[in-house]
Structure 1
Amino acid sequence: MMDWDDMRVFLALARMESLGRAGQHLRLDPATVGRRIARLEEGLGRRLFTRSHQGYALTDEGARLLPHAVAAENTMAAAAQEAGAGSTGLSGQIRVGAPDGCANYLLPQVVAAICEENPALDVQIIALPRVFNLSRREADMAIGVSAPQTGRLSVQKICDYRLHLAAASSYLDQHPPITKAEDLRQHRIIGYIPDMIFDSELDYLAELGLDRVALGSNSVAVQFNFIRHAAGLGVVHDFALPSAPGLVRILPQVFSLKRSFYLIRHLDDRRVSRLNRFAETLYRGIRKELARLEGAVDGPLPSDAA
């Protein structure tokens, strides 16, 4: 019979696909993680992982075990929550996946406020420019920029958000003026690496017919810092603008994008009270913070170009 410690080691390796990262998460030596997995596989009489130079991947047998391990994890978390029923706060660990724009400029202050109210709660934010696989339990819940159409998922729209072209005022002072969309072709464009756009909702520049990205990154944070350091112009989330007062929106009356955030969860987790409570608090926090940040740049602003 497997015990909870076995499940913890199995889940960590399934999620992180690396002995080193799993060991760091569990505070175990990587070699110990490897021995524990080998012992678990021997006890079950089946291979749970395939090993390669890229890391550890679940076998079919491992994938079948995964939902049972997650169910055990949820049961243990619920038991811990029940044991602390004298306190109404959330506790335990919750992992949230998000695109890095949201993860860098929106989630930190929202999650910090939640944890301030729930001191026994640990929250991990995974900022990756890709879609999260909740079926493999890479995260307890994820924020996406489009609603998935397949899988056993629960999808809730959080809110809309806006994006505009922006540049550093110092960049604009040293380059030709921009009064119409055609003028953009005279400027250095910053954006996503075209073949690394993981969601069509992120193909911002297509609407302007700009097909050359002079400075590209798969990270919104890197793009934002390119723009902040006067390297060129690009599309910026309005909610990120208050963190960089030197940036100026460009042609806000001509070019404006609206996108949406969705809270995505595994359908089975709707039965887990602590995740439901956290999800509701996160939903309300994101809506409130995004309204505050966008309100700070609601315009037209005197500093907007053209």
Structure 2
Amino acid sequence: MGLWRGDGHYRLAFTQSILALPQLISASAQYQLDYPDLALVLALVRGGSLARAAALLKVDVSTVFRAVRRLEAGLGQQLFDKSRAGYLPTSLALTLAQQAEAAEQALEAARVGVAQGGEVISGTVRLTCTDSVLQSLLLPALARFMPNYPALVIELCTSNDFANLNRRDADIAVRLTATPPEHLVGRCLGAVSYRLYASSEYRQRVDCSDLAQVAWIAPDDFLPDHPSVAWRRQQWPGVQPAYRCNSMLTVAELVRAGLGVAALPDFLIGEGSLVPLSEPLGQETALWLLTRPDCRALRSVVTLFDELARHLHWA
């Protein structure tokens, strides 16, 4: 298995990355951490037990057991808490595993580059969006272009606010907003309109001409400023929704199930049995592709940003 190779090229790459770890500055000066050590830690973090780590490394269990004991003795620090549940990694082990994964990705990028005869885009990009945008827009877009970037890794997080980018927990955000934060940079991908929708079955069963008498489905207080909420409060202040949901994707699914009516964005309709009960509501927002200014120097982020700008559409 490639992870267990210990030639000089691997040693140099890993030694440079490990020197940046503050946890290891205080480790035993007598012990020189090497590639197989990181491979061992990564396999145990991924496997959670000696048996699964041994299977990943294609060695026997006793070899893994002795290697862990030798590594912990050499570092003078415990890497795993042993229990009936398995091998639980300490914070140091998790840090080492992250370094090992980064090097693993770099190695894979090098292999792809050699196979393709040129430079490849590699690295990990953290991407955040709402669950409705993920399901309706992002997944189809990723399916179109990600096969062209086998060395690019995406970490997806569904969230309804901008906190991810503010805390630097994400590199790119796809957001519905009329006023994107000024400290972020990005591109407006187009306007998004809302209409009132019901399922065909619900419309046949219930008279929807009097909207005060229908069952309303709406976002809950988790989305107090959502355009559909603002419109309903302006136009139908006395209406109390029969169903409240913490995501627009769930709102749409309840409408499809024939449980009531809701104001939904155009991109969330797709093909199906939903029928519009109104013209656009006049509560337009926009789909924005956003990133932090410091991310524009990262080729992996810029590449993903540009690809999303080309492929995210709903018209």
Asked which structure has the greater CA Rg, the reply is 2
Superposition deviation, residue 230 in structure 1: 0.2
Secondary structure at the aligned position of 1:197 is classed as coil
What is the CA-CA distance between 1:239 and the residue it aligns to? Answer: 1.7
Partner of 1:184: 211
- Paired residue secondary structure (1:280): helix
Residue 220 of structure 1 aligns with which residue? 248
> Does 2:140 match 1:109?
yes
Identity of aligned residues (%): 21
Q: In the alignment, residue 18 of structure 2 is paired with which amino acid?
A: D
Residue of structure 2 equivalent to 1:62: none
Please give the root-mean-square deviation of Cα atoms over the aligned residues, in Å: 3.7
User: Structure 2 vs 1, CA of residues 249 and 28 (structure 1 numbering), >3 Å: closer, same or farther?
Assistant: same
Distance in 1 (alpha carbons) for counterparts of 2:189 and 2:107:
29
Uncovered stretches (5+) of structure 2, i.e. residues with no partner: 1-15, 23-41, 49-79, 82-87
In structure 1, the partner of 2:90 is: 34
Residues 85-116 of structure 1 show CA distances to partners (whole Å, capped at 9, x for unaligned) of: 54455333322101222111111000111212
User: Which of the residues 298, 301, 308 maps onto 1:272?
Assistant: 298
Deviates more, 1:101-110 or 1:111-120: 111-120
Change (3 A) 1:225 1:234: same
2:199–2:255 CA contact under 8 A, matched in 1: yes
2 CA distance for matches of 1:216 and 1:4? 51
DSSP-derived class of the 1:205 partner: helix
- 2:150 is paired with a residue of what secondary structure? coil
Q: How does 1:79-118 map to 2 (within 5 A)?
A: 86-87=117-118, 89-118=120-149
SS in 2 for 1:216: strand
Three-state SS of the structure 1 residue aligned to 2:194 is strand
- Normalising to structure 1: TM-score of the pair? 0.64
Query: What whole-Å deviation, never above 9, does each CA across 1:175-202 have from its counterpart, x for those lacking one?
Result: 1142xxxx21110000101x21164545
Instruction: Give the TM-score taking structure 2 as reference length.
Output: 0.63
Q: Which residue of 1 aligns with 2:59?
A: none
| Separation (CA, whole Å) in 2 of partners of 1:4 and 1:105 | 43
